[in-house]
Structure 1
Amino acid sequence: MPPAPPWPFADPPETEVIVLDRILSGDSPARLVTHDQEDGAWQFLDGEQVFEEDAAVVLLGEVVQVDPSLLELADLPPGWFAWRPEPGAPWRRAEGEPPATIGGEG
């Protein structure tokens, strides 16, 4: 069995992150990821409306097990966000606050 690739994130796999329950359950794909400037926190969202009760705190290593494509965002700097219109589409990146809605090429 080949060795596992090195962990690509600067934050360890045990870092607590915010993710939506519907992403963890597989009901919705991760389409928006934010890396907060102030505290370096990661949020994994689906680009839909979010209520506080929709979110869960889990470990970064758990989130990338649910969606390994999130490993592509390991180098996302604090203060940036990434989005994609659908799973399998390339991640796009921008600095600042994400727009109120995401999708398509917007």
Structure 2
Amino acid sequence: MSRDKWRFIDKPNIMVITTKSIIDNKIAILSVWHDADDGMWQFLDGTDVNEDDAILISLENIVNIDNSVNEVSNLPLGWVAWREEKGFEWKTQSEI
């Protein structure tokens, strides 16, 4: 991915949390969390994640799996974005 098209403030090589099911393209990314305490990104499928399914990969890999996450690249710290299905519009709100 060319640097001029990179939409996240974070660098492409930062580690983010996702699931093996998302990496294997079995389940779509349906929620994105931008943690307030440490700035960590989580790209999840909207279900409870068990420790055995969680995995760290680069932000660039997540964008390559589903580039629609670029639509929430400006998600503030402490906010969550979600959608009903892949291709649907992202909704956002504070994690309060």
Report the TM-score, using the length of structure 1 for normalisation: 0.85
Shift in Å, 1:48: 1.2
1:32-75 per-position Cα deviation (integer Å, ceiling 9, x unaligned): 11000000000000011210111110000000000010111110
Shift in Å, 1:14: 0.5
Q: Say whether residues 1:69 and 2:68 are aligned partners.
A: yes
Q: Give the aligned CA root-mean-square deviation in angstroms.
A: 1.3
Unaligned runs of 5+ in 1: 98-106
Map of 2:10 onto structure 1: 11
Map of 1:48 onto structure 2: 47
Shift in Å, 1:4: 6.6
Task: Give the number of the structure whose alpha-carbon radius of gyration is greater.
Answer: 1
Which 4+ runs in 1 deviate beyond 6 A? none
- How high is the sequence identity, in percent, across the aligned residues? 39
Report the TM-score, using the length of structure 2 for normalisation: 0.94
Unaligned runs of 5+ in 2: none
Alignment of 1:10-49 (within 5 A): 10-49=9-48
Amino acid across the alignment from 1:30: I
Map of 1:80 onto structure 2: 79
Q: How many residues align?
A: 95
Shift in Å, 1:93: 0.1
C-alpha distance in 2 between matches for 1:43 and 1:77: 13
Amino acid across the alignment from 1:78: L
